[in-house]
Structure 1
Amino acid sequence: MRAEIEDFLVHEADLLDSGRYADWLDLLHEDFLYRVPVPLAREDPTQSPYDDVLEFANESKSFLEMRFRRIASDFAWAERPAAMVRHFVSNFRITPEGGDVEAYAVRTNVMVVRARLPEVPVIATAGRHDRIVRQDGVLLLASRVVHLDAEVPTESQLGVIF
């Protein structure tokens, strides 16, 4: 199972890197939710370094479909020319959830490099918490929470899907 989930996430990263957004959306469960909580610099190490309420992103599958349709349209001037993006996914930690549905909690580390000339490439790192389920024999990404490693991320960092 571990190898299948790792292959699934590497394939998912490849689809994002190559701009194959329709194929990437096919990997998402209908109830998929993509969340990016706001990082906080707290002095108390017992408190979470991420806000419980504020989020940079809280996007459903249907919202992401609209976002990618806009990028493909003639109206996304900020996306012309398209940026080059590379995902590096590592440190796979996979835990079966049990229950009636075959589901897995998957934690990974990710580094995303986004480059568009003449700008300097932007590197962002994060921890991801995914929930992957098997539906009709196929693995699907049911949810993703991204914990950014930057307290004040740039627009370029927030513009990519981690």
Structure 2
Amino acid sequence: MLPTLQDFIYDEARLIDSADYEAWLALFAEDGRYWVPLKGQAQTEDERHNAIADESPLLLRLRVARLRGDRAHSQQQRSQCQHVLQTPRLLSSDAGVHTLHTPFTYAESRGEEMVVLHGHCVHRLRETPDGLCIALKRVNLVNAHSRLPMIQLFP
């Protein structure tokens, strides 16, 4: 049975929360993009230069390799995270591309430190012969314009 669009979003968050980063990376299209704009939802897609993160699958793989390695000092005590998602809402569907909006709360801990972020994700999912893939995951943080603590994982 094929997953629904909502199931895909929930499963994606579960993969991150369980630190199954390799399976998470496999969800991205070859030309996919993980983007956390510095101005949150006020930022247009043309303003690519201001970003907390703007990563292709190649850059995401490098980040995952760093997280998995023993030389990442920021991960000497491994970070853990938990996404709490509201129900994803379909914004548009056109020619096999589906755009969804999902409000979230994200918590990330490492040792005694806890980071809590709020915002919404915009997923652009593309249908392929192999199933759905992520063409874009845009994370709009409510306080993106503020000074943010160090974020190690993937809100």
Normalising by structure 2, we get a TM-score of 0.86
The answer to whether structure 1 residue 61 and structure 2 residue 57 are counterparts is yes
Distance 1:117 1:67 in 2: 20
| 2:109 corresponding residue in structure 1 | 115
- The answer as to whether partners of 1:90 and 1:108 remain within 8 angstroms in 2 is yes
Matched letter for residue 135 of structure 1: T
- The answer as to whether partners of 2:36 and 2:54 remain within 8 angstroms in 1 is yes
The structure-2 alpha-carbon separation of the partners of 1:153 and 1:90, relative to structure 1 and needing over 3 Å to count, comes to: farther
List per-residue Cα deviations over 1:55-80 (Å, max 9, x = no partner): 22111010000110111112112112
Provide the alpha-carbon RMSD of the alignment: 1.9
Matched letter for residue 78 of structure 1: S
SS of match in other structure, 2:71: coil
List per-residue Cα deviations over 1:121-145 (Å, max 9, x = no partner): 2210111111001111411111011
Flag the structure with larger Rg.
Answer: 1
- The answer as to whether partners of 2:34 and 2:137 remain within 8 angstroms in 1 is yes
Normalising by structure 1, we get a TM-score of 0.83
2:91 aligned to which of 82, 92, 95: 95
Gaps of 5+ in 2: none
Identity %: 23
Q: Which runs of 4+ in 1 moved over 3 A?
A: 48-53
- The answer as to whether partners of 1:50 and 1:147 remain within 8 angstroms in 2 is no
**Alignment coverage as a number of residue pairs:** 149
